[in-house]
């Protein structure tokens, strides 16, 4: 027995030494599995974050020219007929020339244009938040509207909690159902019982979306809905919009958001109110008008917005009082001034970190250097969003910290403090 004891001791020692690497391996395996499970649950939550319930069919008593009932897709929800509008307090015309626009049950339109051109005014005319100077705004007799505006969160009673707000909006609904729905839009746990005064803008936006998505609307209008959402939530909203089967009007400077959600594109600029079937033509019409104004008659783009009479023409007031009506861009262009050289801080196709609207930095790639030192066009690597970003919103990234193309999906999800280093950022 005494001779065998050293052998048992040696064998036990060998087993212990062999088990140490295995313990490390098992620990890493468990950490990876836990991360994978958490990531999967997060994706499931995001997939249903802005989900709409099944819609209720619109009543149809509308007839076409032959006297037959129109199809369900062509039922008119809101119809603008020869509408003009002027702000009485300032005398500023937004639509001096009459505009016409019919929102049907199948309308899916992205609205683009410079700030101040009339995008939000147009939406407010559609929804009777503003009254037209002339023309008609005809609404369907029984339709449900969901409207998310740039200032919708400012309309919240900040003394209420999200649960109290939902119970006030839907008094006949059970509190449990309302809490479950708040959870789907990312308002979870203690946040549901926290006064909205103490919530972030992103959390307040999610409360508004909870209200909008609890009952499926026939028309969903969203004015800059992505401003306070993180990238994951933007992707969830895109998915929800594509599953939504009602009429949809979107205002956004996020080109990727419009391209993925809309089928037609309305361009609103001084003197133009045009609907296009493709986003490229709509963008050319929208974002070249200032250059056309400046090259065509010495009228600055900012002046065009300030003096915009809207509709189909632009009024050029001459010094002698003569008023000339002309389609914008009709004048002969003059030679353009040489573009100043841009001091390039980042190279094309360089991996960098770019600031998003939620205040976090994300992995991105430089795609284009913008003229006049305005910055760079960058691509957010993990999400496919293209954006023009000022140099102050960019910073260098270590090569080791930025994942290779296609590797982000398999990388470990970073903690909030390290979200800029790459991989999928956490939503709020």
For 242-270, the pLDDT digits (tens) are 888 899 999 988 888 899 999 999 999 88
CATH match for 351-421 among 3.40.50.800, 2.160.10.10, 2.30.30.140, 2.60.40.1730: 2.30.30.140
pLDDT at position 415 is 35
CB-side neighbour CA atoms (13 Å) of 72: 8
SS (H, E, C) the chain: CCCCHHHHHHHHHHHHHHHHHHHHHHHHHHHHHHHHHHHHHHHHHHHCCCCCCCCCCCCCCCECCCCCECCHHHCEEEEEEEEEEEECCCCEEEEEEEEEEEEECCCEEEEECCCCCCHHHHHHHHCCCCCCCEEEEEECCCCCEEEECCCHHHHCCCCCCHHHHHHHHCCCCCHHHHHHHHHHCCCCHHHHHCCHHHCCHHHHHHHHHHHHHHCCCCEEEEECCCCCCCHHHHHHHHHHHHHCCCEEEEECCCHHHHHHHCCEEEEEECCEEEEECCHHHHHHHHHCHHHHHHHHHCCCHHHHHHCCCCCCCEEEECCCCCEEEECCCCCCCCCCCCCCCCCCCCCCCCEEEEECCCCCEEEEEEEEEEHHHCEEEEEECCCCCEEEECHHHEEECCCCCCCCCCCHHHCCCCCHHHHHHCCCCCCC
pLDDT at position 336 is 36
The SS3 call for residue 116 is: coil
pLDDT at position 63 is 86
Domain ranges of the chain: 351-421
pLDDT at position 102 is 95
How many residues are listed for the chain in this entry?
428
pLDDT at position 291 is 56
- The position carrying tokens 């296009």 is 276
The SS3 call for residue 365 is: strand
Distance CA 28, CA 33 (A): 9
DSSP code of residue 118: S
> Where do the H-state alpha helices sit in 299-372?
301-306
pLDDT at position 14 is 52
Along the 428 residues of the chain, how does pLDDT read in single tens digits? 555 555 555 555 555 555 677 777 778 878 887 777 665 555 555 555 677 777 788 888 888 888 899 998 999 999 999 999 998 888 888 998 999 999 999 999 999 988 888 898 999 999 999 999 999 999 999 899 988 887 777 778 999 999 999 999 999 999 999 998 898 888 888 999 999 999 988 888 889 888 988 888 999 999 888 877 777 778 888 888 888 889 999 998 888 889 999 999 999 988 789 999 999 899 888 877 655 555 544 445 555 555 555 554 333 333 333 333 323 232 233 333 333 333 447 888 889 998 877 678 888 999 888 877 778 888 888 877 788 888 888 888 864 444 444 433 333 333 333 333 333 444 33
For 284-302, the pLDDT digits (tens) are 888 776 555 555 444 455 5
Which residues make beta-bridge pairs with 380? 364
Distance CA 240, CA 233 (A): 10
Which residues, in sequence order, are CB contacts of 156 under 8 Å at separation 6+?
Answer: 165, 196, 204, 207, 208
């Amino acid at each position: 027995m005494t001779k065998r004891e050293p052998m048992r001791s040696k064998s036990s020692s060998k087993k212990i030494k062999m088990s140490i690497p295995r313990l490390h391996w098992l620990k890493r395996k468990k950490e990876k599995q836990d991360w994978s499970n958490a990531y999967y649950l997060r994706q499931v939550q995001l997939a249903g974050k802005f989900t709409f319930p099944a819609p209720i069919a619109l009543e149809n008593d509308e007839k076409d020219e032959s006297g037959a009932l129109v199809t369900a897709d062509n039922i008119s929800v809101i119809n603008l007929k020869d509408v003009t509008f002027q702000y009485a307090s300032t005398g500023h015309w937004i639509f001096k020339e009459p505009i016409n626009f019919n929102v049907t049950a199948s309308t899916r339109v992205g609205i683009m244009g410079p700030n101040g051109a009339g995008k939000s005014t147009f939406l407010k005319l559609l929804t009777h938040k503003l009254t037209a100077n002339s023309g008609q705004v005809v609404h369907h007799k029984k339709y449900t509207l969901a409207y998310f505006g740039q200032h919708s969160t400012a309309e919240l009673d900040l003394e209420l909690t999200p649960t109290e707000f939902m119970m006030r909006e839907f008094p006949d609904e059970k509190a449990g159902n309302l809490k479950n729905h708040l959870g789907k839009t990312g308002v979870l746990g203690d946040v549901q019982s926290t006064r909205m005064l103490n919530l972030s803008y992103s959390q307040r936006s999610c409360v508004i979306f909870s209200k909008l998505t609890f009952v499926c609307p026939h028309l969903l209008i969203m004015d800059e809905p992505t401003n306070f959402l993180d990238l994951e939530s933007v992707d969830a909203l895109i998915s929800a919009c594509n599953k939504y089967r009602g009429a949809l009007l979107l205002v956004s400077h996020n080109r990727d958001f419009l391209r993925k959600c809309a089928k037609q594109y309305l361009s609103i600029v001084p003197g133009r109110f045009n609907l296009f079937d493709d986003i490229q033509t709509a963008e050319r019409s929208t974002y070249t008008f200032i250059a056309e104004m400046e090259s065509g008659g010495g009228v600055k783009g900012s002046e065009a917005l300030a003096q915009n009479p809207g509709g189909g023409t632009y009024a050029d007031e001459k010094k002698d009082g003569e008023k000339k009506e002309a389609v914008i861009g009709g004048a002969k262009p003059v030679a353009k001034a040489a573009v100043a050289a841009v001091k390039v801080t980042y190279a094309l196709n360089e991996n960098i970190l770019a600031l998003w609207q939620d205040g976090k930095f994300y992995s991105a790639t430089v795609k284009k250097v913008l003229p006049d030192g305005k910055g760079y066009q960058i691509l957010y690597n993990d999400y496919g969003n293209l954006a023009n970003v000022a140099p102050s919103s960019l910073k260098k990234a270590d090569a080791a910290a930025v994942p290779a193309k296609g590797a982000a999906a398999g990388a470990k999800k970073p903690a909030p403090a390290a979200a800029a280093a790459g991989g999928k950022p956490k939503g709020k």
